[in-house]
A and B are shown apart, each in its own frame.
Chain A
Amino acid sequence: MDPVVAKDLYVRMLRIRTVEEKIAELYPEQQMRCPVHLSVGQEAVAVGACAALESEDYAFSTHRSHAHYLAKGGNLKAMLGELYGRVTGCCQGKGGSMHLVDRSVGFLGAVPIVGSTIPIGVGAAFGTLLRKDRRVTIVFLGDGATEEGVFHEAVNFAVLKRLPVVFVCENNFFSVYSSLDVRQPSTREIYELVRGYGLESHQGDGNDVEAVYGLTKAAVEKARAGRGPTFLEFKTYRWREHCGPHYDNHVGYRSEQEFEEWKGRCPVARLKQRLLQRGLVTQQDLDGTEATLTGEIEEAVAFAKSSPFPDPQLLGAHLYAP
């Protein structure tokens, strides 16, 4: 892999990790008065996939959208402002953590209803096809979304119309507390099921950002060349609870041992080791990067906390578009 790209991927993952850890640290202050679904442990999929896109390409996401938003280039201050319910937030406080958007970088939206952005993302890809522009759309989804009817409806249509869309499935094995094996037959792999729709479908290591980047880049190039959609399944793991800042290995739906195994495959630490082993960076470089990121994030938090709340008159604004 190109050393510049590899280092960039590392910085992007570390940035997301640091933002999420900062949110977890500040969340108990109860100033962020909305649910948060943290992406810690799953950074490689977001970063590897979005790095394969151009800035004007589109991405759609889910309830667990912080990493996707940031990886696509979404404004950090606007994201934190949104979590703090401030008027400087990306939705002026009307959306919260589950509704991030930054049109300036093609991040067209995130919603918490499982699967609902899948057909919308496919529709954006259909729109780009009708308008004959060259954008590619990535739709992020989880394993649970592959059980929703709209997933199957949307994939069918994407194949039917050979749409420039890449489905990026983060299989973290859990839909909240419900493990994959109580939801889908254990003998079946998601990417194999999807292959039945007649599109290229692959599985990759979701904790290896270089693998994610490689598979997604090929899929994006294929889509841009007019050769249709691709489905990519990446197995990964959510470290913290489904919703909130805490660890929850004690509540019984998964084991401490399982968590430790996945933590041992930390996507950020893995790439860091590789970069050091390949001599692409020095520990000194990395220390400097961490300091820069910490400074940026502290500044963004301060910005969000000091931003004004929306004026009450905004309650009735934006019901209809002009």
Chain B
Amino acid sequence: MTRDLRFFQAIHEATDLCMARDPSVYLMGLHVPADPKGIFGTVSGLQQKYGPDRVMDMPTSENGMTGVAIGSALVGMRPIMVHQRIEFALLAVEQIINQAANWHYMFGGKDAMPLVIRMMIGRGWGQGPQHSQSLQAVFAHVPGLKVVMPVTPYDAKGLLIAAIEDNNPVIYLEHRWLHNIFGPVPEGHYTVPIGKARTARPGRDVTIVATSYMVLESLRAADLLARDGIEAEVVDVRSLRPLDTEHILASIQKTGRLMAVDGAWRSLGFAAEVLALAAERTYGTLKAAPQRVTFPDLPSPSTPALAQHFYPRAVHIVNGVRTMMGLQEVTEEQLGIQHETPLDVPDKAFTGPF
């Protein structure tokens, strides 16, 4: 049976289900059992259900504890590690990139490395340069890792189950502004395959390839574009590595136009990778130069006065597409966009269902 769940509930349900099915699955992270908010509600009550050995707090030792997770995976455990901000995981980059990512290959395919590392990304009021970065490209650059960025509650559950059951290190990136959106989620066990994109909205005129929260801004942009008869196809990549290049290419070949939308830095990032893919594989079929909507190549500022100019939103996607189509740029006012909430908290227009 399918019912509406919030994104955080979908993560909770996936974790609960996997822990019930497989005694080798365990969960660790700073404050995992202690946080009164249950890590955005994603782990609430799990320690009471599975005990302190399987749902555990840890020393403030991100690198060492990632090594512990890796070592336990080598002897048959399936750890899930949680970082409430991706920046804390940077302390563990040595273990993640040198060790977890390489281990299977460098030892000639002997070992499995079933490890899931959940990391929160994204903005929030005043989070500033070290609590709101979106470093998906850092991890997605590394062969041997898998990197997923679910958007819908359905995918949040299905991709987390797939990640936990995968025999490789999977970086599972959660945008904080997605935790409270809702959408239909089936009960019970199902997986969403890692490495498969999905078409979030079909269209014929332009392909918008987007990641994570920016899929929602892209869908809103597609609605706005449709008013002027421009039908945008929105591709939610879901996995950055492996990347579903065939899905993306098929869409670009159909529409002849590409807009890459990534909530991260512009240069050398995911959006750049998608444009490179288009340049290599669809050069002759493109009707316009591909465009990117991304963050500027700057640290993320804290004050809302600057943050509102740092984070792109639907209007920027709309204008990028309009430029590609040879149309004049428009303002949010002209589009009829009214922000009922300040720009530094989640937009109430984006709660779902998705």
Q: Would you call A320 and B104 a contact (CB within 8 A)? A: yes
B74 at the interface (CB under 8 A from A): yes
Return chain A residues, CB-CB under 8 Å to B68. 119-120, 122-123, 126, 154, 157
Return chain A residues, CB-CB under 8 Å to B26. 130
Output the nearest chain B residue to A131 by Cβ-Cβ distance. B76
Q: Which A residues, 243 to 282, have Cβ-Cβ distances below 8 Å to chain B?
A: none
Q: Would you call A99 and B69 a contact (CB within 8 A)? A: no
Binds B, one of A14-22, A101-109, A176-184: A101-109
* Docked CA distance A103–B64 (Å): 23
CB distance from B112 to the nearest CB of A (A): 4
Binds B, one of A26-34, A89-97, A188-196: A89-97
CB distance from A185 to the nearest CB of B (A): 23
Other than A90-B107, A124-B74, A150-B94, give 7 A-B pairs with Cβ distance below 8 A: A95-B108, A119-B65, A119-B70, A130-B77, A131-B76, A320-B146, A321-B167
The verdict on A120 contacting B67 (CB below 8 Å), with A94-B106, A131-B75 known, is yes
The verdict on A157 contacting B71 (CB below 8 Å), with A94-B107, A99-B107 known, is no
A291 at the interface (CB under 8 A from B): no
Q: Which B residues, 137 to 179, have Cβ-Cβ distances below 8 Å to chain A?
A: 143-144, 146, 167-168
Tally of contact residues, A, Cβ under 8 A: 45
A58 at the interface (CB under 8 A from B): yes
> Which of B58, B67, B69, B105 has the most CB atoms of chain A within a 10 A radius of its CB?
B67
CB distance from A160 to the nearest CB of B (A): 7
CB distance from B95 to the nearest CB of A (A): 7
* Docked CA distance A320–B104 (Å): 7
Return chain B residues, CB-CB under 8 Å to A117. 67
Return chain B residues, CB-CB under 8 Å to A307. none
* Docked CA distance A229–B24 (Å): 23
Q: Would you call A122 and B71 a contact (CB within 8 A)? A: yes
Q: Would you call B64 and A150 a contact (CB within 8 A)? A: yes
B344 at the interface (CB under 8 A from A): no
The verdict on A157 contacting B108 (CB below 8 Å), with A111-B98, A130-B26 known, is no
* Docked CA distance A282–B26 (Å): 56
Q: Would you call A119 and B144 a contact (CB within 8 A)? A: no
Return chain B residues, CB-CB under 8 Å to A126. 68, 71-72
* Docked CA distance A101–B107 (Å): 7
A308 at the interface (CB under 8 A from B): no
Q: Would you call A153 and B63 a contact (CB within 8 A)? A: yes
Return chain B residues, CB-CB under 8 Å to A317. 109
B127 at the interface (CB under 8 A from A): no
| Number of cross-chain contacts by CB at 8 Å | 152
**Would you give 29 A-B contacts (Cβ < 8 Å), ordered by A?**
A60-B71, A89-B108, A90-B108, A94-B107, A95-B107, A99-B106, A101-B110, A108-B74, A108-B75, A109-B111, A117-B67, A118-B64, A119-B63, A119-B67, A119-B71, A120-B67, A120-B95, A121-B71, A123-B68, A124-B74, A127-B74, A131-B76, A150-B94, A150-B95, A153-B65, A154-B68, A319-B104, A319-B144, A320-B167
* Docked CA distance A108–B111 (Å): 9
Return chain B residues, CB-CB under 8 Å to A111. 98-99
The verdict on A153 contacting B64 (CB below 8 Å), with A116-B99, A160-B59, A321-B168 known, is yes
B182 at the interface (CB under 8 A from A): no
Q: Would you call A119 and B76 a contact (CB within 8 A)? A: no
* Docked CA distance A92–B105 (Å): 10
A75 at the interface (CB under 8 A from B): no
Q: Would you call A58 and B75 a contact (CB within 8 A)? A: yes
Contact of A318 among B61, B73, B99, B105 (CB under 8 A): B105
A59 at the interface (CB under 8 A from B): no
A297 at the interface (CB under 8 A from B): no
Output the nearest chain B residue to A149 by Cβ-Cβ distance. B63
CB distance from B294 to the nearest CB of A (A): 28
A295 at the interface (CB under 8 A from B): no
CB distance from A264 to the nearest CB of B (A): 39
Q: Would you call A157 and B107 a contact (CB within 8 A)? A: no
Q: Would you call A157 and B64 a contact (CB within 8 A)? A: yes
Contact of B63 among A58, A101, A150 (CB under 8 A): A150
Return chain A residues, CB-CB under 8 Å to B144. 319-320
Output the nearest chain A residue to B54 by Cβ-Cβ distance. A130
Interface string of A301-322 (1 = CB under 8 A from B): 0000000000000000111111
Return chain A residues, CB-CB under 8 Å to B76. 127, 131
Return chain A residues, CB-CB under 8 Å to B15. none
Q: Which 10 A-B pairs have the closest CB atoms?
A: A123-B71, A119-B67, A153-B64, A153-B61, A318-B109, A127-B72, A123-B68, A91-B108, A127-B75, A92-B108
